[in-house]
Amino acid sequence: MWAFLVFFQNIILFIVKCGIMTKETLIEILNLSKEKDIPEKDAAFEVVGKRMCLNYYKKKYGLKVYAPGESKHSWKQRTLTVNDNYFSRYTIETCYYAGFIAADGNISKERNRLTIGLSGKDKSFLETFAEKIESNGKIYESSTREKYSSVAIAITSPKICEDLEKNFNITPQKSLTLLPPPIENKELLDAFILGVLDGDGTISFLNKKLKDGRISKRLLISVIGTKEIVTMIKNRFEEIICGTVSNPHHKNYTGNTYTIATTDAHARKLFLHYYKIDVPKLERKWGEEKYNYCMSFKRTLPLSRRKGINVFDLDGKLVKHFDTLEEASDFTKISLGRLSDLCKLDDGTHMSKGYMCSRTKTEMPPYVPTNPFSKKVLEKYK
């Protein structure tokens, strides 16, 4: 019996030295490390005759893998620091960054590393995030050419990954499975939505050339994500604008990817609402130009589509546009009834006190008198 045990042990040693580790041998090494209070590599040397990194076999057999610095006898000390408890509680700032990570971040399958990758022009944003989270990790740049450059930061912290999953439902491979966070406070939820907008949203101008050559600007706000996320955002948008937003539109190229969009007055109201949230948001999406546009917006339409009346002189040149007949009457000294008649006639053969009028035309031909009386009147106003 004893000879059989010795033979069996030699077989195990042979298998391990050939690169195969059984679960029983792995557990024996780990137990020896605890009993003798020695590093796992030293325990492996005593059991199998050589020092080994056991993380591969731990993952293979479903055992706990310690992050650098987490284990008492970790073979690699943690050199990069970070505030592991940053996402352990809800604040405006943490909810904003969690929303951004939900859109543009990635958690490793082992749930011990957070990675964020952005365009090179957003490097300052990552620098601010690293400062807020108290990380001394390096920000990596992929290219020195500005047009093609990208930046990324990787933070190793099982606690941060755990808090992101527990408090914000951010899991590995979340693109098609992300669910809304369990946040009931509207102010905190708005901060989270703002982060999603900065990560997976679009805030831009739609420019349209009008028939008269002018450019009409419209503000667009859209966001893409899972159906659950965009539905949550749609409901919150409707609460803010006291109106309706179009239902989520399914993107055909993937499974659970949807988008919503809103423009014009609703978009301007949403922009001003989220602009007020005091977080270090992406400047290129919340720039001063868009803010001034929303604050000083005045609807401009071609004259032919404005309500009111256009007043012309006898040469057919536009004198002025008036929003109401009352304003036109005060300017021309023509009675309201006569102004209304001129607008109905809407031609170049009728005038009053040296003016022609129209509600629809932006150009009028020169006045042409049609009878002797009107010719005498014309001489009076020449």
Q: What is the pLDDT of residue 327?
A: 85
| 173 vs 98, residue with greater confidence | 98
Beta strands at 150-156 and 140-141: parallel, antiparallel or unpaired: antiparallel
Per-residue burial over 182-207, b if 16 or more Cβ lie within 10 Å, else e, is ebeeeebbbbbbbbbbbbbbebeeee
What is the pTM for the complete model shown? 0.63
Other CB atoms within 10 A of residue 334 CB = 22
Give how far the C-alpha of residue 80 lies from the chain's centroid of Cα atoms, to the nearest Å. 29
Residue 300's pLDDT band, with cuts at 50, 70 and 90, is: low
| Long-range contacts of the stretch 303-307 (C-beta < 8 A, 24+) | 303/362, 304/360, 304/361, 304/362
Residue 274's pLDDT band, with cuts at 50, 70 and 90, is: very high
Q: How many CA atoms lie within 13 A of 300 on its CB side?
A: 14
SS3 per-residue string spanning 94-142: HHHHHHHHHHHEEECCCCCEEEEEEEHHHHHHHHHHHHHCCCCCCCEEC
Residue 109's pLDDT band, with cuts at 50, 70 and 90, is: confident
Q: Is 174 exposed, middle or buried (0-12, 13-18, 19+ CB in 10 A)?
A: buried
Residue 76's pLDDT band, with cuts at 50, 70 and 90, is: very low
Owner of token pair 């073979």:
75
Task: For residues 279-283, give the mean pLDDT.
Answer: 92
Q: Is the dihedral of CA 235, 237, 239, 243 positive or negative?
A: negative
The mean pLDDT value of the chain amounts to: 84
Angle at CA of residue 296, ends 294 and 302, nearest 5°: 95
The pLDDT of residue 18 is above 50: no
Q: What is the pLDDT of residue 261?
A: 94
CA distance 216 to 209: 6
Q: 288 φ, ψ to 5°?
A: -65, -35
Q: What is the DSSP letter of 275?
A: H
Task: For residues 183-188, give the mean pLDDT.
Answer: 95
Radius of gyration from C-alpha coordinates of the chain: 36
Q: 169 φ, ψ to 5°?
A: 60, 30
| Residue ranges of domains in the chain, CATH in brackets | 10-60 (no CATH), 92-295 (3.10.28.10), 303-381 (1.10.10.10)
| 57 vs 212, residue with greater confidence | 57
Q: What is the pLDDT of residue 69?
A: 52
Task: For residues 216-229, give the mean pLDDT.
Answer: 92
Q: What is the pLDDT of residue 16?
A: 47
| 198 vs 31, residue with greater confidence | 198
CA distance 73 to 40: 7
| 303 vs 218, residue with greater confidence | 218
Q: What is the pLDDT of residue 217?
A: 84
| 307 vs 194, residue with greater confidence | 194
CA distance 260 to 235: 11
Q: What is the pLDDT of residue 50?
A: 80
Identify whether the C-beta of residue 151 lies closer than 8 Å to the C-beta of residue 141: yes
| 380 vs 142, residue with greater confidence | 142
Q: What is the pLDDT of residue 10?
A: 56
Task: For residues 207-211, give the mean pLDDT.
Answer: 73
